[in-house]
Amino acid sequence: MFVSLNWLKNYIDIENISTEDLAERITKTGIEVEGIEYIAEQSTNVVVGYVKKCEQHPNADKLNLCQVDVGDEELQIICGAPNIAQGQKVAVAKPGAVLPGNFKIKKAKLRGVESNGMICSLQELGIEEKFVPKDVAEGIFVFPNDAEVGADALQLLNLDDAIIELGLTPNRSDALSMLGVAYEVAAILDVPIRFPEENVKTAEEQAVDYVSVKVEDSDANPYYGAFVVKDIEIGPSPLWMRNYLIAAGIRPINNVVDITNYVLLEYGQPLHAFDFDKFGSKEIVVRRAQQDEKIQTLDDQERTLSSEHLVITNGQEPTAIAGVMGGAESEVSEQTTTVLLEAAYFDPKVVRIGSKDHGLRSESSIRFEKGVDPNRVKSAGMRACQLLSQYANGTVLSGVAEFDELDKEEKTVEFSSSRINARLGTAISNDEMADILRKLNINYKLNGDTFTVHVPTRRQDITIFEDMLEEIARIYGYDNLPYTLPQGASQAGGLTDLQQLKRDIKQYFESAGLMESITYSLTSQARSQLLVSPEVKEKAVTPVALSMPMSEEHSTLRLSMLPELLDSLAYNTARKQSNLAYYELGTIFLSEQEQVTKQPEEKLRAAGALTGDWITHPWQQEKRQVDFYLVKGILQGLFETLNVTAEYKQTKIDGMHPGRTAQILVGGTSIGFLGQVHPKLQKDFDLKDTYVFDLDLDYLFEIHKNEPSFAKIPRYPSVSRDIALVVEEAVHAGDVQATIQQAGGELVKDVQVFDVYQGEHLEDGKKSIAFNLLYLDPERTLKDEEVEESYQAILYAVKDAHDAELRG
């Protein structure tokens, strides 16, 4: 809502406060001022001039040489506007004047002739093209004849105005009118309000003689009033009215249309003017539209209607979509002499549907959608009649043809001052509260400390105690509320074990050298199929999709964070940042339903993606690229932190390198995978070798048990033994290790691979794996024979299970 302060001054006195202070106070009291605009802040020295003489420029066809009386002197000015003519009163920027854009007017010579100033168009004076009335859009602005020569043109054009833009929250539709803003500002400044003139001398003829009103759906249209004004003379509306409309962002058209718009802005009540002679009948019937019924609207579009829409008809055909837009057929034109003026209350929902279905959001529909003041509908009609009589020479017929089932009663809300104070943490006295209500122009009765408030119908947002609490609090001033801390029993806040664990996991990854990243949960349909972990794939029938995505790119809920993580890597490598190690903790969305009807299961997972060099500063050491075992090492550390034992199984996953991917299992349950991204997919993302992992954290957290206790530090020495075994290339080290562990017996506390060799001195197709074994008995010193016995058992077992030979 744009509020012209000059206009507002008609209702309340705001002379004693600066625009900035006023804006600040409005903001702090309840409605955010989003901006202040001074239309012609920099303009000076523009006056009304009388064109005494206007002749063609001796040296230019399209220029005119004018003699202009500006009061204290006569200026010779050259003007190129096509509409300039002798006898006009025009806006003259005198030499030394400054126009918007810091445009300075100086004496000049145009084609050899002196020009001492400029005759201005509205655009040149700083008014936006779209608000300039069409008749003066192509040339200079012409003042009405009564404009005084030499007067300040900026003031006459209201260009000395300041416009404040109010950002209205949905509850404050009462401020969608100048009167509403006046009430608000009056409460803030504690000043009285001057109300507009609604009384008008009416003719003897009655409106009901001209037209009847019938409403078929009283829920959708509880009030419909039709006023009739005849003998209308269509013409421009008065300059002040045009100025105000422009300030509010509405383009002036003619007096009748301008008056309906002016009252809309003044009262917040939309009105519609029909040309009575073109209305097509003498009866107004408001009804639901029929299926596929058509109407040509004011904007010359044909609209197809349905029973969802409410229409105004002449008994036969629709003449307007209620509250949304009028029909072209009955539009007011230059020829109109009798106006049928509609002042109605339409149900907010009905208007919302009508405006949404036809893509028409207008100043009218916005107000109907929020619910207009039931007690201002008819008076707005009367105000418009008064203006039509005054500014369009109309004769107003007496009375109104109406249908009225509108509830106009003021609701009551009761509250005690003690409850208000208890809720606010204040000690506001009854007198102070009463004073606040008086400032708000709200009537009340006080009984003891109980206020019974009659809520004005303009404030549709006030219905319950808490609404009054807000009114009292905001006028009292939020700044005046004390700072307190809650008095309730204090409790120890904190993270749950799982939340703490999540933080620990993050910290682990970060100290292991990975950076946390955050990607979008919504991905593309195609990407949602990629790099899905086996245990997820098994459960998720189809990825969950949005019903109306904004783009295919973000249309589907992810089953893995990896595709978007790869995208992040690609984003970086495209910017020459090629050594990257990322992880993310986030949710994936699992649904076992083909057609989703219930919330998908949300699983917390940890994913990572690494590419490029791991060790990048090679002056002393070799450069090392990220590889499978680096990533596996990081995960091993994680599992150790979580105190779980993981197994790794060669596996194949869509989008992964078939030979370099391992499924990870804990106690036989799949919890994720790691490995290299398939070179084809790497190429799709323009990535070099990239390694990823994806883990089910929810499951890991569930099985994770770590209750640290003290284990005695062994007092006896351990014995270390190395063993190098030659096996077929295809034999997995992990399997051999498991055999060793099992065959070695209880004394073997640890088995580690420390070397893998292939090549010289070994048969083709064979490899040697060297293990280090750690023997320990915490209770005593081991005997050589025991160790040897276990060693031999191991040799026997690996020979048996893997055809392994001791390397000679």
Partner 1 sequence: MKERLLELQTEALAKVEEASTLKDLQDIRVAYLGKKGPITEVLRGMGKLSKEERPVIGELANKVREAIASELDNKKEHLEAIELEKKLEAETIDVTLPGRPVQVGGPHLLTSIVEEIEDLFIGMGFEVREGPEVETDYYNFEALNLPKDHPARDMQDSFYITEELLMRTHTSPVQARTMGEYQGSQPVKMICPGKVYRRDTDDATHSHQFTQVEGLYVDKDVRMSDLKGVLNRFAKQLFGEEREIRLRPSFFPFTEPSVEMDISCKVCHGHGCSVCKGTGWIEILGGGMVHPRVLEMAGYDSNEYSGFAFGMGPERIAMLKYGVDDIRHFYTNDVRFLTQYHKAK
Of 30-49, which residues contact partner 1 (CB under 8 A)? 30-32
Of these, 58, 82, 425, 717, which contacts partner 1 (CB under 8 A)? 425
386: buried, middle or exposed (CB in 10 Å: 19+, 13-18, 0-12)?
Answer: buried
Give the type of residue at 584: E
- Pick the closer one to partner 1 by CB: 318 or 600: 600
Of these, 83, 218, 521, 741, which contacts partner 1 (CB under 8 A)? 521
Indicate whether 589 belongs to the interface with partner 1 (CB under 8 A): yes
Tokens in use for 618?
């090679």
Indicate whether 548 belongs to the interface with partner 1 (CB under 8 A): yes
Residue window 339-358: x/- pattern of binding to partner 1, with contact defined by CB under 8 A: ---------xx--x------
Of these, 286, 436, 514, 531, which contacts partner 1 (CB under 8 A)? 514
- Dist. CA 776–CA 787, nearest whole Å: 9
Indicate whether 594 belongs to the interface with partner 1 (CB under 8 A): no
Coil vs helix vs strand at 652: coil
Residue window 142-181: x/- pattern of binding to partner 1, with contact defined by CB under 8 A: ---------------------------xxxx---------
- Pick the closer one to partner 1 by CB: 278 or 288: 288
Cβ atoms 42, 104 nearer than 8 A = no
Of these, 16, 199, 489, 705, which contacts partner 1 (CB under 8 A)? 489
| DSSP code string of 322-386 | TTTEEBSTT---TT---EEEEEEE--HHHHHHHHHHTT---HHHHHHHH---GGGHHHHHHHHHH
Indicate whether 481 belongs to the interface with partner 1 (CB under 8 A): yes
Min CB(138)–partner 1 separation in Å = 37
Query: Which range, of 123-131, 182-190, 278-286, 514-522, touches partner 1 by CB under 8 A?
Result: 514-522
Query: Which range, of 122-130, 186-194, 211-219, 573-581, touches partner 1 by CB under 8 A?
Result: 573-581
| DSSP code string of 719-741 | EEEEEEEEEETTS-HHHHHHHHH
Min CB(334)–partner 1 separation in Å = 39
Indicate whether 599 belongs to the interface with partner 1 (CB under 8 A): yes
Of these, 79, 320, 557, 723, which contacts partner 1 (CB under 8 A)? 557
Cβ atoms 291, 281 nearer than 8 A = no
Min CB(169)–partner 1 separation in Å = 3
Indicate whether 486 belongs to the interface with partner 1 (CB under 8 A): yes
Tokens in use for 266?
């003044």
- Pick the closer one to partner 1 by CB: 241 or 505: 505
Bridge partner residues of 110 (DSSP): 113
Query: Which range, of 144-152, 210-218, 498-506, 660-668, touches partner 1 by CB under 8 A?
Result: 498-506
Indicate whether 483 belongs to the interface with partner 1 (CB under 8 A): yes
411: buried, middle or exposed (CB in 10 Å: 19+, 13-18, 0-12)?
Answer: middle
Q: Find tokens 């007017």 and name the residue.
A: 105
Min CB(461)–partner 1 separation in Å = 8
Residue window 450-479: x/- pattern of binding to partner 1, with contact defined by CB under 8 A: --------------xxxx-xx--xx---xx
Could you tell me where the beta strands, DSSP code E, fall in 193-301?
Answer: 202-206, 212-215, 223-230, 271-275, 283-288, 294-296
Kindly report the backbone phi and psi dihedral angles of residue 802, in degrees, each rounded to the nearest multiple of 5, phi listed first. -125, 10
Tokens in use for 168?
């209205």
Indicate whether 554 belongs to the interface with partner 1 (CB under 8 A): yes
| DSSP code string of 360-371 | ---HHHHHHHH-
- Pick the closer one to partner 1 by CB: 529 or 572: 572
- In order of 44, 181, 445, 493, 496, the CA distances from 456 in angstroms are 44, 15, 14, 45, 50
Query: Which range, of 51-59, 142-150, 596-604, 781-789, touches partner 1 by CB under 8 A?
Result: 596-604
Of these, 359, 448, 482, 659, which contacts partner 1 (CB under 8 A)? 482
Min CB(490)–partner 1 separation in Å = 5
- Dist. CA 808–CA 542, nearest whole Å: 56
Indicate whether 600 belongs to the interface with partner 1 (CB under 8 A): yes
Q: What is the DSSP letter of 311?
A: E
Min CB(472)–partner 1 separation in Å = 9
Indicate whether 568 belongs to the interface with partner 1 (CB under 8 A): yes
Residue window 98-137: x/- pattern of binding to partner 1, with contact defined by CB under 8 A: ----------------------------------------
CA-nearest of 240, 241, 251, 249 to 39 is 249
- Pick the closer one to partner 1 by CB: 401 or 544: 544
- Dist. CA 682–CA 691, nearest whole Å: 10
- Dist. CA 260–CA 262, nearest whole Å: 5
- Could you tell me how far CA 582 lies from the centroid of its own chain? 31
Indicate whether 616 belongs to the interface with partner 1 (CB under 8 A): yes
Query: Which range, of 301-309, 389-397, 541-549, 730-738, touches partner 1 by CB under 8 A?
Result: 541-549
CA-nearest of 562, 731, 528 to 631 is 562
Residues binding partner 1: number (CB under 8 A): 97
Number of residues that make up the chain: 808
